[in-house]
Amino acid sequence: MSRIGKLPITIPAGVTVELKDLNITVKGKLGTLTQELKKEVSIEIEGNQLTVNRIDDEKQTRSYHGLYRSLINNMVIGVSEGFVIKQELVGVGYKAEAKGQVLELALGYTHAIHMLLAPEILVETETLKKGNPTITLKSHNKQLIGQVAAKIRSFRPPEPYKGKGVKFVGEELRRKAGKSAGK
């Protein structure tokens, strides 16, 4: 039995879960998410507990068991609490500015980068004196917010010598020593 797949999901108050054919819809105060399920897994809802079961013990079915339990759990957490990702821009002259759903980044290139964000994502930027600019992304969809954060990071990944680039807040970078000059 899957260690993750067998864990029940507690549905908090204010969240409704609907199962229709092979689609599961989770509605909450922050939005609505829908996921298509494979026929190898089945869902049981008893009160405020949701369990994911599998139909057999084949390898592919076992992998779906834990996957769909995690996806549904992320959906429930997303519509009830939401997800937040914070990134910081490390480098001289690096700037970020949010104009509605457009994120404008100055990352040391000759031109500014304009990124149009999905309506499900709320973006905030903050620039403190004597500090690095930070970007805060908020959404109820964990997959979408992670994809957007990875795209922002891909514009200027942190480099190992000076540590410049876009990194997640609290991320520890592995630094290299660089050239050792001398005879």
What domains sit in the chain, N to C, each tagged with a CATH number?
9-80 (3.90.930.12), 83-168 (3.90.930.12)
Provide the whole-model pTM.
0.89
pLDDT band with cut points at 50, 70 and 90 for residue 182: low
∠ CA 74-75-78, rounded to 5°: 80
Q: pLDDT value at position 180? A: 78
Residues 55, 98: Cα–Cα separation, whole Å = 48
pLDDT of 119 above 70:
yes
Q: pLDDT value at position 65? A: 93
pLDDT band with cut points at 50, 70 and 90 for residue 130: confident
Q: pLDDT value at position 183? A: 57
CA atoms within 13 A on the CB side of 35: 22
What would the pLDDT profile of 132-160 be if each residue is shown by its tens digit? 999 999 999 999 999 999 999 999 999 99
Average pLDDT score over residue span 15-35: 94
User: How many other CB atoms sit within 10 Å of the CB of residue 101?
Assistant: 13
Three-state DSSP at 66 gives helix
User: Where do the DSSP E strands lie in 7-132?
Assistant: 9-10, 16-20, 23-28, 31-36, 41-46, 49-54, 83-90, 95-99, 102-106, 113-116, 122-126
Q: pLDDT value at position 45? A: 92
Q: pLDDT value at position 113? A: 96
Q: In what order do the strands lie in the sheet with 49-54?
A: 9-10, 49-54, 41-46
Residues 37, 52: Cα–Cα separation, whole Å = 11
Average pLDDT score over residue span 78-90: 96
Amino acid at 108: G
Average pLDDT score over residue span 151-171: 94
